[in-house]
Amino acid sequence: MTTENSDVRMERRQFLKACSVTMGCLLATHSLKAMSNPVPTSLRRPNILFIFSDDHSHNSISAYESKINKTPNIDQIANEGAVFTNSFCTNSICQPSRATILTGKHSHLNGVTYNGSRWNSQQLVFPRLMQKEGYKTALIGKWHMKPDPSTEFGYWKVLSGSGGQGRYYNPQFNSAKGLETITGYSTDVITDQAIDWLDNNRTEQEPFMLMVQFKSPHVPRRPAVRHLELFKDVEIPEPETLFDDYKTRHPYAEKAWMQISGLNEEVTNIFPPKNSDIPLNNKQKEFLSRLSKEDREKFHQAYDSENQKYYEMKKNGALDDKKVRTKYFYQRFIKDYLRCVTAIDENVGRLLDYLDQNNLSDNTVVVYSSDQSYYIGEHGWAEKRWMYEESLSMPFVIRWPKKIQSGQRIHKLIQNMDYAPTFLEMANIKVPQEIQGSSLLPLLSGDPKNVKWRKAIYYHYYHHGAHNVPRHDGVRTQRFKLIHFYTDNVYELYNLKEDPYELNNIYEAPDSQKTKQRMLELLNQLREEYKVPESVFKPPYVFPR
């Protein structure tokens, strides 16, 4: 495979060199467009379509064996390609995950260690390398980092407002042309914009790399009007760990501010029914005022009876019991969450249809992923951040017809820092040494069992104190996980094979001492290998800059 790749790479380089002699890049591009003969198949590099969402739990994707919903279009990518069953992030929160994807590096090297870090737009990012090598590149949707893009992509149009989160209804975007508000539902509008860009920018000669990034199903989880009645009269099964008592852990888990029972009215679509004398609070007012008169009417039709019941339960004290409150808010939360996921899946379907209709499916790599997975009730939570499985994970399914065998389930340990080198290698672009991730192509191109691959991943969460979660780092192998809450120098150790829900911390167990030593050594090795600075482990634990 290496020989074939280098032959193709050499052919392509000669081809590009011939095109750029004397005319410069711009003229070469125009001459390419004008050529009557299409690029020979052997020289054609794949398009990359990276579809990404925010806070989408792999436990709500049927390709990951969801017990509570179906995602037929994401499943189609998985069925026609591969599912990575052990896919993880390096730092479970929005901005750091995005920065790691773009740079192929851990947070301490790309500078985005927490939400609010300043993004250094001039650093190495894979889209710029692809653009230099003749790719049309674009990011459309949620960017979230500060500042907005400059030269990272050939084109960008990113959600603006609500701290870069954008709004679910009639979202505002920023682009090189300035601010614009587009009527419609966020997930639909982002897909419309992506299809519009493809329609107007594709050429036969230039491959594209397009990142379509949804805000959904991030809080405050407003579903599309067409999905408001979905799941209305059904009870969604509760996760096994909804009533976790955290008893073998250090007290952090118990004290985290992310309990399902603590969800508030604004993030669960609770608002006073029509003609009620209950006053609207400011957030309810702001949300409802963004809706058209017709849509507002539909929200009332769908939610008023349930909300009426909520206000009655609140008044008579029925929700004062924590267990009752947890069960009640789990149903409210999960239904809106799954409604948002349904719109994502439909829009994934629209993008796949577009590729089919434009004869692009065969030569386009399609990925579906999310910046991290999410607790959708597991351990009693609705959040991310921890190194525990549900938020350490990232969904990652990938399709490349005729190149990737269909129906694969790959169990090797991968991370979001692997995406950049994967896309670069697929495009026959040399992967710079400084990138810390590894291309997934060898795992996809042959029998993963025969590929020499990492035996452990390194994780580091920096956003100390947010949601009352302390900074921590750790190491995970196929079987064990060691977490170091280094601000207090305490550890947790889990045997993932015997205890997949991580309910039994075995760090102090007498028969775990050998494993403990081995995992402690591994943690030190990985800190060194990934060049984690000593200073981050020392107080004061303020956000690094």
* Number of residue whose CB is nearest Ca ion: 94
Q: What is the CA radius of gyration of the chain?
A: 24
Q: How far is the CB of 370 from Ca ion (least distance, A)?
A: 7
58-96 per-residue burial string, b: 16 or more CB within 10 A, e: under 16? bbbbbbbebebbebebbbbbbbbbbbbbbbbbbbbbbbb
Burial (CB count within 10 angstroms: exposed 0-12, middle 13-18, buried 19+), residue 386: buried
List binders of Ca ion among 420-449 (CB under 5 A): none
Q: With contacts defined by CB under 5 A, how many residues of the chain interact with Ca ion?
A: 4
Q: How far is the CB of 480 from Ca ion (least distance, A)?
A: 26
Q: How far is the CB of 97 from Ca ion (least distance, A)?
A: 7
Check residue 55 for interaction with Ca ion (CB under 5 A). yes
Check residue 346 for interaction with Ca ion (CB under 5 A). no
Q: Give DSSP secondary structure letters for 96-164.
A: HHHHHHHHSS-HHHHS--STTPBP-TTS--HHHHHHHTT-EEEEEE---SBS--SSSSSEEEEEESTTT
Q: How far is the CB of 417 from Ca ion (least distance, A)?
A: 17
Say which DSSP state 524 is in. Answer: H
Q: How far is the CB of 520 from Ca ion (least distance, A)?
A: 30
Say which DSSP state 215 is in. Answer: -
> CA 9 to CA 161: how far, in whole Å?
43
Q: What tokens appear for 396 in the block?
A: 């990652």
Q: How far is the CB of 396 from Ca ion (least distance, A)?
A: 15
Q: For Ca ion, which is the closer residue by CB, 47 or 92?
A: 92
> CA 400 to CA 46: how far, in whole Å?
9
CA 404 distance to own-chain centroid: 22
Q: For Ca ion, which is the closer residue by CB, 51 or 519?
A: 51
Q: For Ca ion, which is the closer residue by CB, 57 or 331?
A: 57
Q: For Ca ion, which is the closer residue by CB, 217 or 272?
A: 217
Backbone angles phi, psi at 335, to 5 degrees: -65, -45
Please give the span between the terminal C-alpha atoms of the chain, in angstroms, as a whole number: 43
> CA 306 to CA 232: how far, in whole Å?
9
**Among the residue ranges 48-56, 187-195, 207-215, 219-227, the one whose residues contact Ca ion (CB under 5 A):** 48-56
Q: How far is the CB of 440 from Ca ion (least distance, A)?
A: 22
Other C-beta atoms lying within 10 Å of the C-beta of residue 6: 11
**Among the residue ranges 50-58, 283-291, 339-347, 357-365, the one whose residues contact Ca ion (CB under 5 A):** 50-58
Q: For Ca ion, which is the closer residue by CB, 71 or 370?
A: 370
Q: How far is the CB of 55 from Ca ion (least distance, A)?
A: 4
**201 touches 138 (CB < 8 A):** yes
Q: How far is the CB of 478 from Ca ion (least distance, A)?
A: 26
Check residue 54 for interaction with Ca ion (CB under 5 A). yes
Check residue 371 for interaction with Ca ion (CB under 5 A). yes
**487 touches 464 (CB < 8 A):** yes
Show the site string, 69-98: x = touches Ca ion by CB under 5 A, - = not.
-------------------------x----
Distances (CA, A) of 385 to 251, 330, 416, 495: 16, 20, 15, 20
List all residues 6 or more positions away from 532 whose beta carbon is below 8 Å from its beta carbon. Answer: 106, 108, 458, 460, 473
List binders of Ca ion among 188-247 (CB under 5 A): none
Q: For Ca ion, which is the closer residue by CB, 216 or 438?
A: 216
**Among the residue ranges 49-57, 130-138, 225-233, 430-438, the one whose residues contact Ca ion (CB under 5 A):** 49-57
Q: For Ca ion, which is the closer residue by CB, 54 or 473?
A: 54
Q: For Ca ion, which is the closer residue by CB, 103 or 369?
A: 369
Burial (CB count within 10 angstroms: exposed 0-12, middle 13-18, buried 19+), residue 339: buried
Q: For Ca ion, which is the closer residue by CB, 94 or 398?
A: 94
Q: For Ca ion, which is the closer residue by CB, 55 or 418?
A: 55
List binders of Ca ion among 92-151 (CB under 5 A): 94
Show the site string, 375-414: x = touches Ca ion by CB under 5 A, - = not.
----------------------------------------
Check residue 345 for interaction with Ca ion (CB under 5 A). no
Q: How far is the CB of 374 from Ca ion (least distance, A)?
A: 7
Q: For Ca ion, which is the closer residue by CB, 53 or 515?
A: 53
Q: How far is the CB of 53 from Ca ion (least distance, A)?
A: 9
Q: How far is the CB of 103 from Ca ion (least distance, A)?
A: 17
Distances (CA, A) of 190 to 172, 228, 371, 397, 433: 11, 20, 17, 20, 34
Q: For Ca ion, which is the closer residue by CB, 55 or 378?
A: 55
Q: Which of 4, 63, 77 is nearest to 400 (CA)?
A: 77
> CA 350 to CA 188: how far, in whole Å?
9
**Among the residue ranges 33-41, 293-301, 344-352, 364-372, the one whose residues contact Ca ion (CB under 5 A):** 364-372
**Among the residue ranges 46-54, 76-84, 105-113, 438-446, the one whose residues contact Ca ion (CB under 5 A):** 46-54
Q: How far is the CB of 462 from Ca ion (least distance, A)?
A: 15
> CA 348 to CA 70: how far, in whole Å?
13
Q: For Ca ion, which is the closer residue by CB, 131 or 213?
A: 213
Binding-site ranges for Ca ion (CB under 5 A): 54-55, 94, 371
